[in-house]
Amino acid sequence: MKPIPLTAETEAIARRVIWFEPPAEALADPIRFMAYAMASATHEDMKALRRHVSDQDLREALAHAPPGIIDPRSWAYWNSKMGRYPTPPEPVRKFR
């Protein structure tokens, strides 16, 4: 997935979506960032992010989403929006 640029707009979104770390750090891992965005960004936030993120990027973020970030309802919604039907199983944590 291509990087998401740090702009005033993406910084503000990052502060809301991943409030517990600096925006530059949050945006450094675009797959993880988009997983958090798919779970908790507003419609307006997603409209802004979609200027930087393609459908293919969203599919990649879903395919490689870290476990435990996207809630089941958001998982079903975004997979449906991206044409991944039936919805694949949610990512699971693996303990070694």
The full length of the chain comes to 96
Residue 84 has pLDDT above 90, yes or no: yes
Output the pLDDT for position 96: 81
The pLDDT tens digits of the residues spanning 56-73 come to: 999 999 999 999 999 999
Q: Where on the phi/psi map is residue 57: left (φ > 0), alpha (ψ -120 to 50), or beta?
A: alpha
Q: Helix, strand, coil % (nearest 5) of the chain? A: 55, 0, 45
Q: Can you give the pTM of this predicted structure? A: 0.93
Q: Return d(Cα 3, Cα 93) in angstroms, integer.
A: 25
Q: Return d(Cα 18, Cα 27) in angstroms, integer.
A: 9
